[in-house]
């Protein structure tokens, strides 16, 4: 049985522990849905001051809601629209300190103030995105971005 560890040390050390836990949690599982669900649950447990953690997967040129932790969310997001669609169109992480300043932000949860979206690219194709919202401005920084990109790289081995 998998057991969630407590995190100690610096922010970077805690993220390194999280990456090891993710790899262990997903080891041997072939179900993409199960792996995305467990990855979102693990991140939701690890991160403080967040109100939504989850995935959108690419389906026929648009992002479709996948496993997540949080309030009900937008079901479909067109490529290039909002923070998630911008991440897929630009194929780059979007670190947004204030969502109200992001042109075209899609407000699925009125409580969200900041957001980070990491694209998931598999075999040079957009698989989807990791999307995390926070109820406070400037919740995410470059350390979060670095390790959440590593989180996605670890996750990709299990997709």
- CATH 3.30.450.40 assigned to domain 11-156? The reply is yes
pLDDT of the residue at 106? 81
Is the pLDDT score of 1 beyond 50? no
* Of 154, 147, 118, 116, residue with least CA distance to 13: 147
The radius of gyration of the chain from alpha carbons, rounded to an integer in Å, stands at 15
Q: What is the pLDDT of residues 109-121, one digit of tens each?
A: 779 999 999 999 9
pLDDT of the residue at 56? 98
Instruction: Count CB neighbours of 89 within 10 A.
Output: 14
Confidence of residue 4 (pLDDT cuts 50, 70, 90): low
Whole-number percent of the chain with pLDDT over 70:
96
- Domain parsing of the chain, residue ranges: 11-156
Is the pLDDT score of 34 beyond 80? yes
| Contact call for residues 106 and 133 (beta carbons, < 8 A) | no
User: Considering the entire predicted model, what is its pTM?
Assistant: 0.94
Between CA 73 and CA 133 the distance in angstroms is 11
């Amino acid at each position: 049985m998998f057991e969630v560890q407590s995190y100690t040390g610096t922010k970077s050390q805690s993220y390194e522990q999280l990456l090891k836990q993710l790899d262990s949690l997903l080891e041997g599982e072939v179900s993409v849905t199960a792996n995305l669900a467990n990855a979102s649950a693990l991140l939701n447990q690890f991160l403080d001051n967040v109100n939504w953690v989850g995935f959108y997967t690419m389906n026929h040129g648009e992002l479709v809601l996948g496993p997540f932790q949080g309030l009900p969310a937008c079901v479909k997001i067109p490529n290039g629209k909002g923070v998630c669609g911008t991440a897929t169109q630009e194929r780059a992480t979007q670190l947004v300190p204030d969502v109200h300043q992001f042109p075209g932000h899609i407000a699925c949860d009125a409580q969200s103030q900041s957001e980070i979206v990491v694209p998931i690219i598999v075999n040079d194709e957009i698989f989807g995105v990791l999307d995390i919202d926070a109820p406070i401005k400037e919740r995410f920084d470059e350390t979060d971005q670095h390790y959440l990109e590593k989180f996605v790289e670890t996750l990709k081995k299990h997709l």
